[in-house]
Chain A
Amino acid sequence: MNCDESELLLHALIDGELDAGHAREVEAHAAVCSDCAEKLASFRAMREAMSDPSLKETAPAHLRGRIEALLATPASRVVSMREFLRPTRRSFFGGFAVGSALSAAVAASLVLAVIRGDQVTIADEVVSAHIRSLQAGHLMDVETGDRHTVKPWFNGRVDVAPPVIDLTAESFTLLGGRLDYIDNEPVAAIVYQRRKHVINLFVAQRLGAKHARTVSDSIQGYNVRHWSQDGLDFWAVSDIVGSELDEFVQKIARAAPQSSGAS
């Protein structure tokens, strides 16, 4: 064996990927070649140093939470949760007993619902709708960045004419729209993107309006904003940072028509 062959194979040797015959040949060569012996020793030492567990990373808790929420919210479970959240609590607890796989995330949002009432229930449904929309093929019914296509698509599908605003120039790319259901009512979902993050803007009449005018919250790692304007209720949900979602909300609120009935 010469140095060129040894040079390549000594890596396989220290990685335990070399058969016994070749391993003996590399070792025999290293025994008579100080150059290769030194390489073998130093690559072994390097490999040893790199096995230090501190070179591994631990996923941050908020990332783990987001992914767990993603995996814990299949469409069927969201629907059933909605069914037992309203109208009675009794059926809800029934669901608890039957739900063999009710996740901690859902259980936690339950507690919130009990403590904080309808507003949280709807916020939670909004987040569930957002998570559901991220799954395969659920994000958009009408897929275009042209607001003149998205806006008329909602005609006859929802009982409001949602403002569809193109913020592409301001780095919130309009992706399209979707019909969604929250609180058993059809709502318009307008989908935006910021870098790789999806923002769902839900628009409907009377969607949590009886409570505070503006709500900001973070549920299961998602930021949620709610406001009322021009007789409509708006909910924005995304995993972008809160300040960016605030910026999005300001831009939408500024561009949406403010004719009458703004609350």
Chain B
Amino acid sequence: MRRFRDAALPHLDEVYTLARYLMRNTDDAEDAVQECYLRALRHFDSYRGPAMKPWLLAILRNVCNAEFTRRARGEIPTDYAQDESVTEEMPMWQEPQASPEKVILRQQDSATIRRLVTELPAPFREAIVLREINDLSYQEIAEVAGVPVGTVMSRLARARAMLRSAWNAAEASTAEPGSATASGITL
């Protein structure tokens, strides 16, 4: 118990951060984190490393996915469910035309960055958050997401391409008050 506490508690902020980006609201994120620590505690006996942080994040991801699956079965209808239907086959969004040639990257404040990340489809959001915000290596992301490293690379490439075009397009929407929160998602 004490060993688990010492090993797992220092990662609480990281786990909560991923939960916020995956669940997209505080209440669901808190529930997911609590469930994650309960499950981790139950399975700590069989934990063999290598690193605690990716292990916890993998459990959290499973908790979040189980919740989305439950909702998709119609127990609680939400708009999150449709997110899960997004596959990697979906067409690239408006990528090229939205980014003017001369602009490398517009400056964005962190609230805007959060919103743009939150609006990415689930597999890409997960990959980019694990990489940039949770600071995991490709190998660790592959373990958390349960996919080969090659898939991690292609998801990251796709996530960044989407993010870059949304990023450069965001200036237009911030110029019109209200449209920035039109999705109703806050993070």
Contact = CB atoms under 8 A, between A and B. Distances in A.
Interface residues on A, range: 35 or more
B12 A42 contact: no
Nearest to A134: B38
Interface residues on B, range: 35 or more
A259 B20 CA distance: 49
Given A12-B153, A71-B41, A55 B105 contact: no
Contacts of A51: 132
A46 B168 CA distance: 11
Interface in A2-21: 7-8, 11-12, 15, 17
Given A43-B164, A57-B20, A101-B2, A67 B138 contact: no
A68 B113 CA distance: 32
B33 A67 contact: yes
Interface stretch (B81-89, B155-163, B171-179): B155-163
Interface string B82-107: 00000000000000000001001101
Contact of B137 (A17, A38, A50, A101): A17
A254 interface: no
B5 interface: yes
Given A52-B110, A59-B13, A71-B4, A15 B131 contact: yes
Contacts of A55: 110, 113-114, 117, 132-133
Contacts of A251: none
B1 interface: yes
Interface string A86-112: 000000000000000100000000000
Given A42-B164, A43-B164, A135-B41, A72 B5 contact: yes
Given A52-B110, A196-B35, A46 B9 contact: no
B132 A50 contact: yes
B154 interface: yes
A116 interface: no
Contacts of B131: 15
Prevailing SS type, chain B contact patch: helix
B28 to A, nearest CB: 9
B17 A195 contact: no
Given A11-B160, A51-B132, A55-B110, A63 B38 contact: no
Given A17-B137, A43-B164, A49 B157 contact: no
Given A38-B104, A50-B132, A67 B164 contact: no
Interface in B13-45: 13-17, 20, 26, 30-31, 33-35, 37-38, 41-42
Interface in B46-104: 67, 101, 104
A212 interface: no
19 contacts: A8-B157, A11-B157, A17-B138, A42-B104, A45-B104, A46-B163, A54-B110, A55-B114, A57-B20, A63-B12, A63-B30, A63-B33, A67-B37, A68-B9, A70-B37, A134-B38, A135-B38, A196-B31, A196-B35
Interface of B: 1-2, 4-5, 8-9, 12-17, 20, 26, 30-31, 33-35, 37-38, 41-42, 67, 101, 104-105, 107-108, 110, 113-114, 117, 128, 131-133, 137-138, 153-154, 156-157, 160, 163-164, 167
